[in-house]
Structure 1
Amino acid sequence: MLTALKGARLSLRFFSGACDKVSDDLKLLGPAVLRRLIRKEDSRITNTSGLAAGYRQANVVIIPKHLAKDFEVFCRNNPAPLPLLYCSQPGETSCPPLAKDADIRTDISQYRVYQDGVLENGVSSLLNYSKSLRVVSQNPSVPCMEWSDMVCFYLGCSFGFEGSLKKAGVVVRNVEQGRNVSMYKTAVPCIQAGVFSCPLVVSMRPIPPAMLEAAVQVTSLDPQAHGAPVHIGDGALLGIQDLSRPDYGDQVELQPGDVPVFWACGVTAIEAIVRSKPSLAFSHSPGCMFLTDVQDPSLRSHGPDSKKSEATALCFQISENPLFYSLASQGAVAQIRHLDAIIGEDPGQRGIKALFIQDELLRSCLALSHSSSVAITTGFPTHYMHSPPDETDGPPGAVAMATMLLSLGKQVTLVTDKRALQMNQDIIDEAVTTGVLKSTIPLVVFEDIGPNSSLHFLCHHGDPAKPRYDHLVAIERSGRAEDGNYYNMRGVNIKHLVDPIDDLFIAANNIPGITTIGIGDGGNELGMGKVKDRVQNLMPMGHLIACDVPADYAIAAGVSNWGGYAVACGLYLLNTCPVHKRYLNKGLGMDHQTPEELQDWIANLPSVKKEESILSTLVRFGIRSGKTAHLAMEVDGLTFHPTHSDIITRLLKVTHGSAD
């Protein structure tokens, strides 16, 4: 046992979860004065939430020096939960870069003491330990420790940005309720370094929806205080099953409409101590931080709207059930909106602009960027008098999306009509051979063989809690009309050529965790039921042909293939966006791509050469242009050169500045 434990005062306040509301007089004091009060064990200071507004606070971990190098690498590997502010010399009790006249042994209101990874005690001072520090580990190979053998790590803390949030008009519920912030262990593993590995710990603050973007922008200004959120929405997506039962801190109550917002948390370091089992270690108690003299840099700006740069983080809801938001930089968002404007052009004069919904392309790309398994369907047998009856719009766009998704490490499946199974297999094989498609993808059919066919197709063992796919994408796929039939743009019923893949989109609407996307250029395509009223009122023969089956997102394009190209380009833009990449990675590891990743993603973007190649393959297989039925290098009556090649060139220039 530790010899210094004798006489150390144990406080049970933290362990009970109790937390008094910070008095107004304490809120007015600066960090140096507050440190002196803490040193005197002022009973009014039980946690530091709401104190020293405008100044950084720090998580503190003190470990044996032989573990210091590993722990520093662990911090570098996991910068969002463990932003390293300062690493002391062995035995050093001050921290000159962060605070004057500070003593880490006395200037935290509550410490934790660990032996072999086990919490031994909670104390209000470490002075006794520095005077007489001896520890006998259960591991006989570990030598006795002296204070001079200990290294202190100071890590950024989210308490530092609470003042910035309040200044920006964002309510801070834990301060408002006089409680410590809620902290939770997640199912997300940190990146290991040496002996250190543990799950990510997050703090949660409930934020009203109208204040989300301000909260994101304010906190993104200060990566050394954990930066922008790493998750916004349903905590279950992080493995948190019950927000009312935090692992650390207090329960903070959500008000009606509040959205749970999660920031990476420095308590991750405590989990790392518990898992690595050092012979001796100290830390702050969660919520009882070290107050520094360093000002919060976000307060030195003029609020989140003062500096609209390309790196500014923007927030978008992409799922209702489960509730989930995603982040991207203002620069990436502007580029994807530019892509949307390009594909919204209408050289065929079909009136497609009437079906446009703002940011459907953007939200679709954000959703797909978070996907793991995507099922894509295409096929519009408009030429019922020919064999095959399919058109050249759809498959090229589907392949373009598939190859980018594969490049990003997603699982991709193509769902097709039974009558077209062999034809589509031949197209896929040819696309792989010619380098248009990154690698082969599974090709499956869906048949209605009973009332639960859709559920069993979409979910393992028909269990809605175990979906096979988290995204369904339809591009230029004939969609079921209100009367149950399928119509081409001329109003001809082609139901006999179409399998009921629409049923999958209908079933997915009741399965949490499956997002649906439809891409179309006339309103009779699967998924365009989202804009059914517009199709009926504004498109030729809309009252008859309008698809009745909606998707969560409906992308309108002048030609559907262009929508597929834009999705592929949008995915590239998001995954080369540091703001989005950091959010994808939960703030763990690098927030930018490796040179190898970048080269692969560029190689798997659509290109004039690749799209000309796949169109040539379709023509060779007897697949015709949609509008004219010409067996030629055209789509929807528009020749590949110059119309389609020009669109592809412009999309690529927006995406990475080159048409290659």
Structure 2
Amino acid sequence: MIFITYLRTHLPPVIRSLVLQKNFNARNISSMSGEPKQASVVILPRSFAKDFEKFCRANNGALTLLYRSEPSEWKLPTLSAGSDTKNDCLKYKKYEFGSCTDNLMSLEGFSEQLKDMVTFYLGCSISSNGAMKKVGIPVRNKESHCNVGIYKTAVPCATVGSFCCPLVVAMIPIPKDKLEPFLQDIYQTGDVQREPIHIGCPDLLGIEDLHKPDYGEPVMLQPADVPVFWASEVTGLEAVISCKSPLAFTSAPGCPVVIDQKDKRIQVSHSGEVPEVHCISQKPLHYSITSSSSVQKIRELESIIAIDPGNRGIKHLFNKDELLKASLSLSHAHSVLITTGFPTHFSHDPPEENDGPPGAIALAAILQALEKEVAIVVDERAMNLHKKIIEDSVNQGVLKTTIPLLSYQGGDTRSALMFLCKDGDPKSPRFDHLVAIERSGRAADGNYYNARKINIKHLVDPIDDLFLAAQKIPGISSTGVGDGGNELGMGKVKTAVKKHIKNGDVIACDVAADFAVIAGVSNWGGYALACALYLLNMSDIHGRYLQKAVGSAATSSGAPLAWAQALPSVMKEEKMLQILMKHKVRSGVTGEVGMVVDGLPFRGIHAEMIQQLIDVSTM
């Protein structure tokens, strides 16, 4: 330990000299924090070099390119004084056609082959030891004198030419109560490579067993720990394997090159933003990160929609941050299933009310803009109605493209599983998130009731079964949006519904969603979810966390403009109500066909609400 302390206080050339003499242990380098600066090495034939450079730049969150040599360039004074590419590593790996065929202490015996090869120096993942010490977290791998565990994931890097591989990550356990101060310290640096790409269950990255790393050694989690993952430069090694070059060399994992030059990190400005960490799922454990300003605005949206124009007593159903957690969960989803439809007007054709479909369409529009897969499931008897509504929404510019329309009529006990998962396999869900917006919900007695306690079960398909099945499928989350307690998903607040809502003891929905978004009118909840998704994806902090260090950031491709255009607006929602009027869909409270929802006029009430939500989201 005294020797290591001595090395830290001396120049990198001293360490390189010891490496050159092979009188140094790889663990000594990998366990160091701060200085010396370190880099991994990839050596490829000239014919592969152009594509590999593009691959690094396309996935620069994981592979920070510090230097690209010319063929036969062994000495790199701009990177390190006295450097020697053939001997700077403690250990090299030799690859032939994608297979590791040898571990080498030096490349001196390959001088002839190296004449037509190019060397890449990649920045090593920044150690978090400093931040951990600052907030009082023990650095367990360092205390155990071992390397951190490094794992291949199921997250694909952006492909360039023959370079096609998964992201590789390193894991460090962080005590739950230290998680936020630890991350706040990391984000203050503005250094992208310090930022984690995932917090929580390794299964969500495709890692099956933390006890079996692909490289390095496992670090055991304590009961209060949360696994935190960072992109690793070992991704470059996997890229070399994927290209199947006739010959290639890399530095061995845990055996970096010591350099003089400071790392050329990707620096970003957070404009004083502070990251906030929020748990969005317990089973499986999953955390998300966004900026404090986006959290503040989403809480403002939640407050705006919580007014109670019908004096139903919905304030008693309200739980703080349900909108925030629902939108964070939706932001991580790849495929979303939305359901709507409340046939409260059982004596009319169609019996649907006009609260629900506009909110569902508004949410679908932003999900489309975010390039997520989205489908809508409705009652079989209402398929034709909703098909016409969607077609008209596209024709009127409310939706950019059509939405797949599905029905579910139940059946045996496996039918919900077969609907939600490929071949009924819980490990292969078709959807990551289910959303119900003003969808009639099943009561404790198995019936479906409108607000007046009238049973409308004969008009309702058992879509509730999908939400019940989703509770048992890891990886599928759910959100219910309601304004009276008898809507699908409101089972989460059924105790309050029975106590505070008129007829609540009978009409209360018994089926819970993970998140219950309460709004004065359910459409407003759909609009607020759309606005919250926009705010989250406009946050650079959240955007990079979603990106997981691979590919190019969405904000560089004009995506924000498409997101803004997909937001609900007064004009679009006016068109939506006109479409519903055309198809004789009525107001829920009054039963009239007109520019009225839940008995409230569009102009003066709904239009004002929409504008408030947009103003909060875009100013």
| TM score, norm. by length of structure 2 | 0.90
Unaligned runs of 5+ in 1: 1-22, 136-144, 301-306
Report the residue type matching 1:365 in the other structure.
Answer: S
SS in 2 for 1:249: coil
CA offset digits 1:216-273 (Å, max 9, x no partner): 4444456767331222233233332222222211122222243322211111111222
SS in 2 for 1:346: coil
Q: Which moved more, 1:270-279 or 1:524-533?
A: 270-279
Match of 1:435?
A: 397
Which of residues 117, 125, 128 in structure 2 aligns to 1:158? 125
Unaligned runs of 5+ in 2: none
Q: 1:210 and 1:55, CA in 2 relative to 1: closer, same or farther beyond 3 A? A: farther
Match of 2:563?
A: 601
Check conservation: 2:39, 2:123, Cα contact below 8 A. yes
CA distance in 1, matches of 2:76, 2:262: 15
Give percent identity, aligned residues only. Answer: 50
CA distance in 2, matches of 1:214, 1:93: 43
Which of residues 313, 338, 346 in structure 1 aligns to 2:275? 313
Q: CA RMSD in A?
A: 2.9
CA offset digits 1:40-66 (Å, max 9, x no partner): 433455452321435543222233455
Match of 1:642?
A: 604
Q: Which moved more, 1:90-99 or 1:547-556?
A: 90-99
- After superposition, residues 159-308 of structure 1 pair within 5 angstroms as 159-220=126-187, 226-293=193-260
Which of residues 15, 18, 23 in structure 2 aligns to 1:42? 23
Which of residues 500, 512, 523 in structure 2 aligns to 1:561? 523
Check conservation: 2:31, 2:146, Cα contact below 8 A. no
Check conservation: 1:421, 1:443, Cα contact below 8 A. yes
Which of residues 524, 537, 545 in structure 2 aligns to 1:575? 537
Match of 1:14?
A: none
CA displacement at 1:507 relative to structure 2: 1.6
Check conservation: 1:80, 1:227, Cα contact below 8 A. no
Match of 2:297?
A: 335
CA displacement at 1:464 relative to structure 2: 2.5
CA displacement at 1:122 relative to structure 2: 2.8
Report the residue type matching 1:437 in the other structure.
Answer: L
Match of 1:497?
A: 459
Match of 1:586?
A: 548
- After superposition, residues 313-392 of structure 1 pair within 5 angstroms as 313-392=275-354
Q: 1:121 and 1:254, CA in 2 relative to 1: closer, same or farther beyond 3 A? A: same
SS in 1 for 2:172: strand
CA distance in 2, matches of 1:398, 1:504: 17
Check conservation: 2:126, 2:194, Cα contact below 8 A. no
CA displacement at 1:562 relative to structure 2: 0.8
Q: 1:620 and 1:121, CA in 2 relative to 1: closer, same or farther beyond 3 A? A: closer
Report the residue type matching 1:330 in the other structure.
Answer: S
Match of 1:460?
A: 422
Which of residues 566, 570, 573 in structure 2 aligns to 1:611? 573
Check conservation: 1:47, 1:287, Cα contact below 8 A. no
Which of residues 472, 476, 484 in structure 2 aligns to 1:522? 484
Q: 1:61 and 1:214, CA in 2 relative to 1: closer, same or farther beyond 3 A? A: farther
SS in 2 for 1:158: coil
CA offset digits 1:10-50 (Å, max 9, x no partner): xxxxxxxxxxxxx3641463253544443443345545232
| TM score, norm. by length of structure 1 | 0.85
CA distance in 2, matches of 1:205, 1:87: 30
Q: 1:276 and 1:500, CA in 2 relative to 1: closer, same or farther beyond 3 A? A: closer
Q: 1:115 and 1:465, CA in 2 relative to 1: closer, same or farther beyond 3 A? A: closer
Q: Does 1:485 align with 2:434?
A: no
SS in 1 for 2:141: helix
Check conservation: 2:338, 2:360, Cα contact below 8 A. yes
Check conservation: 1:582, 1:590, Cα contact below 8 A. no
Match of 1:63?
A: 44
SS in 2 for 1:364: helix
Check conservation: 1:234, 1:324, Cα contact below 8 A. yes
Check conservation: 1:181, 1:249, Cα contact below 8 A. yes
Match of 1:410?
A: 372
Check conservation: 1:65, 1:150, Cα contact below 8 A. yes
What is the aligned length?
A: 614
Q: 1:89 and 1:27, CA in 2 relative to 1: closer, same or farther beyond 3 A? A: farther
SS in 1 for 2:466: helix
Q: Does 1:110 align with 2:85?
A: no
